[in-house]
Structures are given as structure tokens and as C-alpha cells.
Structure 1
């Protein structure tokens, strides 16, 4: 019985120690939360400390901003930022980067269906017609990739469900996660 009493006390002490201030009051504070992962198995469910998402930032490109605003994303998923980049070997074309908060996952496999929905939505737009590559990332509170996938040959892929949904999911190259 002593072990059962000591472990919660140690856990509570560690939790309280983590609540101290680091003195970095000028840092951007996260606005959206996601459940933290835990490796401790207990007999009763224990609520995990939520991990935070990076706060949303304005999208400078008006066309990309309108596209991101119109995205139909799963419940709880949000766009935290998006931007375009260029490559000198592809004049007139852009790479589209979409940064998300995906509260229910931190893996590339979980990101693939969301990225596929974004690719399908992008394909039929003017900006999609100029896109040579699409990058979709799930960002953490420090704006670091938890998972990231890419389609470096966006123009070569139909993104219309053909030849199959499974084939579309396998199109994504995993960058991280």
C-alpha cells in the first residue's frame, strides 16, 4: 500500500515542479491544446496534461489566405499558418506550405488523410494550378514539426480519388513523424 501512496505524491510533486515560471514572459503563449502522450499505465484512467499548439498567424498571401479559410478540416484541426515559396528552377510556380494543429495525433500516418483533403481542395484552385509541391505539417507549441508530409510532384498527381484513396495516401512522402 505504501507504493500506491508514494507514486501519486511523487507524480504530484513533479507536476507542481513543472508549473514554475521560467521568466520568459515575452514568449508567445499557445492558444489551442492537445492531449499529451503518456507511457505510464495505471489501473484507472488518468487525465494527461494537455500539450499546446502554436497560435494562429495571419497568412500574407490573400489568395492562400482565402484558400485556407475555406478548408473543410476535421473537428479540432486548425490552420495555424500557410505560405508559399518559390524555386528558381520552376519559374512561375510555387510550393504551398500548410501548417496545422492536429490535436488528436502527432504522426505522419494520421496526417496523410488530412493532407489528402487539402490537396484535393487545392487542386481545383488558381493557386493549385501554379503549385509544384505541397507540404503539410502538424506543428507543436514551439512551431516545430510533430509530423510533416510532402507531395513534391503536385502537378503530376490527380488528387481526385483515382486510382484509389489508398493510392493517394501512399503518394505522400514522410518528412518527419
Structure 2
């Protein structure tokens, strides 16, 4: 259940993070973990990993959605913003992640929701572009200033290695600052978002 500004405790902005990869050693997941460490005090990054277990999207299930779909929708609704990092497969967003997004096209959790997408590979421009297009079509409030490519020198870096790399840390900091600035520009505050 979404919290109103009256019953929400004084907390930082709640940013739901979604890694578009199901790999255990995913660069995108590590990038989001590093972002959580680097996040300014006003942003609380919370990972959501349950989307990978969602069944194939089926519009016939509208009104009788599986519990996992309802939980995913609730997590999106309760977030102040969403931060996504997705790999690229065959010039697009991975099918499993696109399936998760398909489950929320009609239910509207992304409508006017501030969303940013960070990209872990300079070669993954097709997926990043496709993802931003999909989010715009879903009427998300795409925060372009916070949507950028953090070109990793290798896909073997873990969170600690990313934090130790000044260039990666600076790029993540830039994205997080832009996302926070956007949330504040909407007239939200940590007291009434």
C-alpha cells in the first residue's frame, strides 16, 4: 500500500534499483551496489530482485495476476524513483527484464515516476536507447541527466573495484546527484515525498 505524505516517516527518498541481469556476477548489479554505497544521504537505494521469477506476461491474467506480479507492482508504487542498470542482448534489453516491464505497462506504476537508467557498457547503446524509449512510452518521468553510460573497462569488476575506480565513482555520483536534484525540483522533500 502506498504511503501518503501524512503517514510516511521522515526518511530519505526511496530509490528502487532494478538490475536487468539475472547473472550472479552481473556488472549491472555491481554497478547498482556501488551506487547504493555512494548515494547521498537523501537517497536510499533499495534493490529489487524478485522480477526474475515473474511468469511470461499474459494479458489474460489481468485481474488475477500472480502474487509475484502484485509484489513487483507494489514495490514500484512505493518507490519515490527507480534506477535501472541493464545489459544488452541482441541489440536490446534482455527478454526476461522486458517481460517484467510488460507486466506493468497497463497497471501504470511507471506513470510520472522519476526513472533513470545507467549503462555499464559503452557498446550497449542499443539496449540503453531501447530502454529509455520503453520507459518514455510507459509515461515514466525519464531523468535524462541521471541516465548515462558508465563505461567499465572490463565486465569483471565487482562493487569494491568500482568504488576504488575514481572515474566510475565520479560517473555514478553525477547520476545520483542529478536524480536527487530532479526529485527536489519536483517540490518533493524527504519529509513529504
Q: Same fold (TM over 0.5)?
A: no
Q: Which has the higher helix share?
A: 2
Larger RCO: 1 or 2 (CA < 8 Å, sep 6+): 2
TM-score of the aligned structures, taking structure 2 as reference length:
0.27
TM-score of the aligned structures, taking structure 1 as reference length:
0.29
Which structure is larger by alpha-carbon Rg, 1 or 2?
Answer: 1
